[in-house]
Amino acid sequence: MRRNTMWRLIAVLLAAFVAAGCTTAPAPAAAPSEAGEAAAPAGEQVLLRLATVSEPSTLDPNLAEDNYSITPIEQMFLGLTNINNETAEIEPELAESWSVSEDGTVWTFNLRQDAMWSDGNPVTAHDVEYSAKRAVMPETASPYAYVLYIIKNAAAINQTAVPTDTYDIDTLGVRAIDDYTVEFTLEAPAAYFGSISSMWTLRPVPSWAIEEFGDAWTDPANIVVSGPYKLAEWRPGEKLIYEKNPDYFNADEVQIDRVEMSLITDQFTEVALYESGDLDVAGESASSLPAEEVARIMADPTLSAEFHQGPRASTTYVGFTMTKPPFDNVLVRKAFSAAIDRETMVRDVVGSGVPATQFAPPGIFGAPDPEVGIGFDPEQAKAWLAEAGFPDGAGFPTVTYRYFANSLEEALAQALQAMWKETLNVDVQIEAQEFPVFLAGTNPDVPVEEMPEMWRLGWGADYPDENNWVYEVFHCTDSQNRPRAACTEADEKAKQAAVETDPEVRKQLYAEVEQLMFGEEVRVAPYYHRGFTILAKPYVTRAYPTFAPVNWDTWRIER
């Protein structure tokens, strides 16, 4: 693949610029702890110190959609099932066992009877039924409700235009047969429902706490949990503190008593705090460590021995607001995608992962092999932009690319800005926002005039099937559809593949959908499949999952 000499120089200068940022620390409030807090609390408590680049948007399982929220929810609320961090296999959690009807449409889960809420109430099948119904009710406005559309009547109920139209929530395909048996009836057979049963959206929540405290039910003083950890303290802009839940059914096997998660948006500072002994793990957040730090770590004999890297089932992409000019023109979207030098982004800016032209990465069922989509092609990019009416960028308006604030995302945004300027001769303003604000600002219900023309998002697998990628992320009506794409043949094929039982037919359909969505329509421009780059002290024993949230309760600290 041809690489432009000018961009090589830009990449070198960019690397130098970002590296210079490591000498500038954020405000003291972002540091994890005062020196006195680095030691274990009074008694024999085992303390784990981590960092995150963003606070959670929510701790309500029915409302969560981002990694910064899903990670703590994973620790605090039991799923019917769990995805094992070591094997990636579905395993029992709240459900001890389950069965599937011969036609594949009825799933019955038998719950363990020793699971308790942290206020002493038992966790029952009625809590599961309540949560499923609450997630699907349109008034809840759950951003992840679409993952439950395979449940009978879920889509029809969730898409009801209230208050003008009405629905009967009891027609949803979920019912508690008794206190410890819950049954789901599906629209069609779906082998991946076992994975959906592990997801946060379907996790039981305490109806009585929600009814008493409303939106404040997840505040530390009010929260009622069923999992191994409970939120003990939230210091906005500084840290969240989780403590072991003594009412968790398997509490005796949870070795770490207290987890402190500090907000640190500068990843150079995060690594520095790891080196000084103030953090036990660095790089655990969704974003990889910057390439410059990875290179330095690999050259250091001590740090390199504590460094872990590998694939994530996760893809980063440039999103286009398809109803906002000039990106309502598919030729413009194609031009911007073809102007991204994906190999250089991975090698010189990210330092991990692999270039991507399609949405689903290797390892996901149905992911095309070889990849489809649009690769780096500067001459084709220029030709597409000229065909769109902007030869050599002439007359092209200044547009905005929005991203969420942290060191790596800033470097990526600057690299994209430089590539688009070099290849297309267009001016792109880059704009950073704190993650919760950024995420809310790209919701499909945001007025188009308030939307940026382009924005950065990523997707990590909830389960290893293309249904969780092209259908649940981009379907024109049955997903959030953040690009605001109109319905096309691609959506019909994605919906067909979701219920198709022949695996070879599914694979072919997904290959066609990927090419249509990202090679022809260009709803977004995928540019790399992410990898993880994590530092962990030698005394920390843990798994590094390819997908699914981490399970702190399985970690060990042995000093």
Residue 70 lies in a domain: no
Same domain, 504 and 475: yes
Residue 262 lies in a domain: yes
pLDDT at 526: 98
Are the CB atoms for 255 and 281 separated by under 8 Å?
no
Mean pLDDT on 128-141: 98
Task: Report the chain's mean pLDDT, rounded to a whole number.
Answer: 91
Domain boundary among the residues 158, 182, 208 is at 208
Mean pLDDT on 15-29: 34
Domain boundary among the residues 192, 208, 224 is at 208
Closest CA to 243 of 222, 219, 218, 260: 260
Same domain, 469 and 357: yes
Residue 526 lies in a domain: yes
pLDDT at 191: 87
Same domain, 507 and 373: yes
The CATH number that applies at residue 490 is 3.10.105.10
Residue 5 lies in a domain: no
- 425 burial class (0-12, 13-18, 19+ CB within 10 angstroms)? middle
Residue 64 lies in a domain: no
Same domain, 151 and 228: no
7 has pLDDT over 50: no
pLDDT at 156: 97
For CA atoms 303, 276, 278, 347, the dihedral sign is negative
Residue 16 lies in a domain: no
Same domain, 153 and 283: no
4 has pLDDT over 90: no
b/e per residue, 253-280, with b = 16+ CB within 10 A? ebbbbbbbbbbbbbbbbbbbbbbeebbb
Same domain, 332 and 370: yes
pLDDT at 1: 35
Mean pLDDT on 286-293: 81
Residue 130 has which token pair? 């309540």
Model confidence over 464-493: pLDDT tens digits? 899 999 999 999 999 999 999 999 999 999
Which structural domain, as residue segments, surrounds residue 133? 76-208
pLDDT at 6: 37
pLDDT at 352: 87
pLDDT at 122: 98
Mean pLDDT on 380-396: 98
Number of domains in the chain: 3
18 has pLDDT over 50: no
Are the CB atoms for 308 and 532 separated by under 8 Å?
yes
Closest CA to 555 of 539, 537, 542: 542
Mean pLDDT on 16-35: 35
Distances (CA, A) of 540 to 26, 154, 245, 346, 537: 27, 42, 21, 28, 6
Same domain, 281 and 323: no
Mean pLDDT on 534-544: 97
The CATH number that applies at residue 259 is 3.40.190.10
Residue 92 lies in a domain: yes
30 has pLDDT over 50: no
Share of the chain above pLDDT 90, in %: 85
Sheet holding 106-111, edge to edge: 95-100, 106-111, 181-185, 174-178
39 has pLDDT over 60: no
Q: Which of 168-177, 245-254, 262-271, 280-289 has the lowest mean pLDDT?
A: 280-289
Same domain, 319 and 449: yes
Mean pLDDT on 455-463: 92
pLDDT at 438: 95
pLDDT at 33: 39
Q: How confident is the model at residue 16 (pLDDT cuts 50, 70, 90)?
A: very low
Distances (CA, A) of 159 to 132, 153, 185, 481: 15, 10, 19, 14
Residue 68 lies in a domain: no
Closest CA to 49 of 58, 37, 57, 59: 37
Q: How confident is the model at residue 8 (pLDDT cuts 50, 70, 90)?
A: very low
Same domain, 501 and 461: yes
Same domain, 353 and 401: yes
Closest CA to 176 of 271, 91, 95, 86: 95
pLDDT at 9: 35
Same domain, 345 and 290: no
Model confidence over 294-313: pLDDT tens digits? 999 999 999 999 999 998 89
The CATH number that applies at residue 149 is 3.90.76.10
Are the CB atoms for 287 and 409 separated by under 8 Å?
yes
Same domain, 369 and 336: yes
pLDDT at 20: 34
Domain boundary among the residues 172, 190, 208 is at 208
d(CA 244, CA 260): 12
Mean pLDDT on 105-119: 98
Mean pLDDT on 165-187: 98
